[in-house]
């Protein structure tokens, strides 16, 4: 018989029909009347399915009474409208097949609550908890909605390389990729001889797909990437990962205002999508993780984002009645505490901050006429702070070359990027949305390590 996912069984009204389901046991209660209740979950829905197992089954004692939390089981039986509160249907088992048992003395996920920190050490099992199942479903919905949003708007999905020889952000935070023997690398005049390395030169894991996306936007008009990116920055915060996924749209003939409009439409679309499709999971987060979550998501879908310049943001922060750990002054980068003050306290909604000082932003951002700022934009949201970073790109060859030199970057690495400004250059813009931070915001989960299956952070790459 064909298996039905529990989410479809829960939505079914075909009472009296026979169904087969399978999953992992969440609870087992044995009744004095000689039968048992099982709740099983297969991850397809937040809720599990209640199964009533009669004691008359052949394997009741040998198997059913050994099913403890975490055991795997398949059940065939009749779908019945449930008399009990809390569920609409249940299944009266005619056959139970036990797969793997889970010794309750050994299996770590028992009834009592385990901290998120502890669960990080059990990342291979945590997907079986309510929280991590819900995170996985919301993460999946946001990924699907991302493709839907861009595809509906004629963007082309582009795969940019993970291994690269150029630093897309120019910040030097790259992991090196090499096949050289680190204990005894080949040397030439005392230096490591990279001509003997796999690619014949030093290569790295990319920090961003942007530069590749620009080459395609300048041919195909609008593209987006959605892939993993890597940063070797030693940031042990609740919003940094060493490996995270990023969505990077890039649009030709678009300026900074167009870019901000796209980012705002996209973010609002995502939250509307999950409010419509993931209500059980979001209600769970609202109840157990962050009681302001649903109100915050709903308010974002119908409020316009505020747009201010960096200079205005600094003025607001200087006047703020708040104690900051890091000082605020024009020219300094905004810290997470400043970002949160602006979006949570000063404006109480998402904020798009534009026109940052050139000195604190990447080489590729378009220089403004004031000579001091660039056409940058960050989208800030409550609780998480920066969720999107983007800009209008410098499309003028000589200005770009000047910025590369001013930042002390090796211009020979960027020859092809400069070429785009020599042939058919046009104004163009794009941004990167950090997928982990998005899922954090969408679920209310405090730590980015708990919204990706296997987090990579300094000193941590188990699993």
Answer for which of 210, 343, 440, 443 binds ligand 4AD (CB under 6 A) is 210
236 burial (CB, 10 Å; 0-12 / 13-18 / 19+) is exposed
Q: Which of 98, 148, 370, 173 is nearest to 269 (CA)?
A: 148
Q: Which of 71, 208, 343, 403 binds ligand 4AD (CB under 6 A)?
A: 208
Distance CA 80, CA 83 (A): 9
In DSSP terms, which residues pair with 247 in a beta bridge?
Answer: 226, 433
Question: Does 382 participate in binding ligand 4AD (rule CB under 6 A)?
Answer: no
Using rule CB under 5 A, residue 389 touches Mg ion: yes
CA distance 444 to 438: 10
Report the residue from 432, 442, 450, 455 that binds ligand 4AD according to the rule CB under 6 A: 432
Q: Site residues for ligand 4AD, window 212-271 (CB under 6 A)?
A: 231, 240-241, 244, 246, 248
**Phi, psi (degrees; rounded to nearest 5) at 435:** -65, -35
Instruction: Looking at residues 168 to 187 of the shown chain, list those that interact with ligand 4AD (rule: CB under 6 A).
Output: 168-169
E strand or H helix at 65: none
Q: How far is the CB of 434 from Mg ion (least distance, A)?
A: 9
Partner interacting with residue 436 (select from Mg ion, ligand 4AD, none; CB below 5-8 Å by kind):
ligand 4AD
Look at residues 368, 365, 155 and name the one whose alpha carbon lies nearest to residue 262: 155
For Mg ion (CB under 5 A), the number of binding residues is: 1
* Residue 436 in the binding site for ligand 4AD (CB under 6 A): yes
Residue nearest to Mg ion (CB): 389
- Out of Mg ion, ligand 4AD, none, which partner does residue 197 contact, by CB within 5 to 8 A per kind? none
The whole-angstrom distance between residue 23's C-alpha and the CA centroid of its chain comes to: 26
Residue 231 binds which of ligand 4AD, Mg ion, none (CB < 5-8 A, kind-dependent): ligand 4AD
Element (H or E) spanning 230, and its range? strand 222-230
Does the protein bind ligand 4AD through residue 388 (CB under 6 A)?
yes
Q: DSSP secondary structure string, 412-438? A: GGGHHHHHTTTSS---EEEEEEEHHHH
Cβ-based neighbour number of residue 302 at 10 Å: 8
- Nearer to ligand 4AD by C-beta: 53 or 439? 439
List residues near Mg ion by CB under 5 A.
Answer: 389
Name the site residues for ligand 4AD (rule: CB under 6 A).
Answer: 168-169, 208, 210, 231, 240-241, 244, 246, 248, 386-391, 430-432, 434, 436-437, 448
């Amino acid at each position: 018989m064909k298996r039905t996912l529990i989410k479809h069984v829960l939505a079914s009204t075909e009472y009296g029909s026979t169904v087969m389901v399978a999953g992992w046991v969440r609870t087992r209660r044995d009744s004095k009347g000689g039968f048992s209740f099982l709740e099983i979950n297969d991850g397809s829905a937040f809720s599990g399915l209640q199964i009533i197992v009669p004691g008359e089954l052949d394997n009741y004692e040998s198997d059913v009474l050994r099913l403890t939390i975490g055991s795997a089981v398949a059940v065939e039986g009749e779908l019945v409208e449930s008399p009990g509160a809390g569920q609409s249907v249940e299944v009266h088992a005619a056959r139970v097949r036990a797969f793997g048992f889970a010794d309750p003395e050994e299996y770590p996920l028992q009834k009592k609550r385990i901290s998120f920190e502890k669960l990080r050490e059990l990342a291979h099992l945590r997907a079986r908890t309510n929280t991590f199942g819900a995170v996985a479903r919301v993460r999946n919905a946001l990924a699907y909605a991302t493709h839907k949003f861009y595809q509906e708007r004629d963007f082309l999905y582009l795969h940019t390389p993970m291994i690269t020889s150029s630093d897309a952000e120019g910040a030097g935070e790259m992991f090196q990729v090499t096949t050289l023997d680190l204990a005894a690398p080949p040397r030439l005049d005392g230096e490591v001889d990279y001509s003997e390395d796999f690619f014949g030169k030093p290569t790295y894991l990319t920090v961003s797909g942007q530069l590749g996306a620009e080459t395609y936007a300048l041919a195909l008009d609008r593209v987006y990437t959605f892939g993993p990116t890597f940063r070797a920055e030693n940031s042990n915060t609740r919003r940094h990962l060493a490996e995270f996924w990023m969505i990077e749209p890039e649009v030709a003939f678009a300026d900074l205002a167009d870019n901000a409009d796209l980012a705002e439409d996209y973010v609002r679309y995502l939250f509307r999508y999950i409010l419509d499709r993931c209500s059980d999971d979001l209600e769970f987060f609202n109840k157990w993780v962050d009681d302001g979550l649903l109100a915050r998501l709903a308010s974002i879908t119908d409020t316009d984002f505020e747009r201010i310049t960096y200079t205005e943001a600094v003025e607001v922060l200087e006047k703020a009645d708040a104690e900051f750990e890091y000082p605020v002054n024009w020219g300094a980068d905004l810290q997470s505490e400043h970002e949160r003050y602006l979006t949570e306290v000063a404006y109480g909604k998402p904020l798009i901050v534009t026109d940052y000082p050139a000195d604190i932003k990447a080489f590729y951002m378009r220089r403004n006429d004031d000579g001091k700022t660039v056409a940058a934009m960050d989208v800030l949201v409550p609780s998480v702070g920066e969720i999107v970073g983007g800009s209008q790109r410098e499309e003028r060859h000589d200005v770009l070359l000047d910025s590369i030199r001013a930042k002390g970057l090796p211009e020979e690495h960027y020859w092809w990027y400069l070429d785009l400004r020599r042939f058919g250059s046009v104004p163009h813009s794009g941004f990167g949305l950090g997928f982990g931070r998005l899922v954090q915001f969408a679920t209310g989960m405090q730590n980015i390590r708990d919204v990706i299956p296997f987090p990579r952070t300094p000193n941590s790459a188990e699993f």
